[in-house]
Amino acid sequence: MTQRLVGSSLPSEGEVAPRSIVTALGVLAAVVVVFVASGHGVYLAGALGFLVALLVSVCLHEGGHFLTARHYGMKATQFFVGFGPTLFSRRRGETEYGVKAVPLGGFVKITGMTPLEDVEPGDEERVFYKAPVRQKVVVLAAGSTMHFLIATVLVVGATFALGVQKEQAPAVGAVSQCVAPDPTTPAKAGADPVDVCDLPGAVPAPAAAAGLRKGDVVTSLDGKALSGAEALVRGIRAAPGREVVLGVRRGDRTLQLRVTPAAVEKASLDNARVPEMAGAIGVLPQSRIDVVRVGPAQSLRASGDVAVLFLTGIRDTVTEKLGSITRIYSKDRDPAGFVGIVGVGRISGEVLASKETAGVKALGLILIVASLNLFVGLFNLLPLLPLDGGHIAVALYEGARDKARRLRGYRGPFQRVDYNRLLPVTYGVAGLFLLFTVALLGADLFNPIRIT
């Protein structure tokens, strides 16, 4: 986000802050050593990978502002990644480039973002606020445009290079000793679990008798390949009292196991209020997901599906999850609700540390970064100061008002919005964003959302 800096303390040209760098590197090294020593090295790699991707996104966002501003002849005096104390800076031409200690954002300082700024002599005609409306809108929207491009490249590139997620043949997550009809009375919340063998009508589980084991992969049922856990469940339920042949992969071995599902009364999968006689063998199917390469047409279609999924998720979060903000510190925090940068970094680490295949992990991390870029791009276009969208709204309002006045015969100078009147609103919005960010940071640290 472009911004004006007041009273910034920056090193001189080419200056490096050695103590700051040594301190930052020392803290980072200590964190890495602790995580690796505790067996969380893979988790840390995922979180750091997300952080690097975030910083690259910030650089490209600011690069969009910077390049378009320079293209239109505006003066950009600073291009920094991060906030807080300066770790490193170098001047090239009229622009100072640098890195600051807190890697949670960045900024480009464009001279004269508003008429309130003091401008050095000779730069009066290169200020941002005097540029034509179209140029100002292009410069302001360039940051979000970069986020949209990043998201598009990541989603399309991932689906073409890696493929799409597809459910594989299910595994056996657990084998029971008994099967029984569904209980007539539901278990009370918090009650001790009831052993299936103690339920009325329980019979020995056919799966255990047939030799099925935890970890087996069930590849087929009566010669028909299984593409997911639901296919196995429905196939077994459709064969009460009838022998079926299960194709099983156990390590490097391929087995054919014959099993006769017991006939028990179960609630229908399609209507829980309707009982039916169904087959049961006493296994807990476990879904298995992998990434499968597909053709160009399918990759493009999958990319579109992912984009729709992202947009739907953002819409639902904003429209349906606002109430979950009050529960971010409670035990029933909504796992699909709001999450901050620290939380997303934690989730990235958990994805990389999960037991999924390498393809699923890579695709998951890429899509996390893509979805974040899409969200940030849209958020930054909200017509609220100090966001870029707020500045765009002001520029469009000034242009529309000027055109309307000239249609009525006005021939005077271009009339600009009085930013002094907007400052209270700007500070109020910025304060709310800051409070929300701090609240999410605390929740992510002390009441985190976990996916595993």
pLDDT in tens, the chain (452 residues): 444 333 333 333 334 444 444 454 454 455 444 444 444 556 677 778 888 888 889 889 999 999 999 999 999 999 998 888 888 899 999 999 998 887 777 889 999 988 888 888 888 899 999 999 999 999 999 999 999 999 999 999 999 999 999 999 999 999 999 999 987 655 554 445 567 888 888 899 999 999 999 999 999 999 999 989 999 999 999 999 999 999 999 999 999 999 999 999 999 988 888 889 999 999 999 999 999 998 999 999 999 999 999 999 888 887 877 778 888 888 888 887 888 888 888 888 888 888 888 899 999 999 999 999 999 999 999 999 989 999 999 999 999 999 999 999 988 888 888 888 988 999 999 999 889 888 888 888 888 887 76
Please pick, among 13, 62, 124, 167, the residue that the annotation labels catalytic.
Answer: 62
pTM value is 0.79
Per DSSP, 1 falls in state -
* Amino acid occupying residue 318: V
Q: How many CB atoms lie within 10 A of CB 387?
A: 22
- At which residue do the structure tokens 């890697």 appear? 103
Half-sphere exposure of 320 (CA within 13 A, CB side): 8
User: Is 13 one of the annotated active-site residues of the chain?
Assistant: no
Close Cβ partners of 129 (under 8 Å, ≥ 6 residues apart):
112, 113, 114, 115, 136, 416
Taking the C-alpha atoms of residue 243 and residue 210, their distance in angstroms, rounded to an integer, is 11
- Nearest Cα to Cα of residue 343 among 79, 12, 4, 54: 54
Taking the C-alpha atoms of residue 394 and residue 400, their distance in angstroms, rounded to an integer, is 10
Taking the C-alpha atoms of residue 390 and residue 371, their distance in angstroms, rounded to an integer, is 23
Which CATH number applies to 169-185+192-287? 2.30.42.10
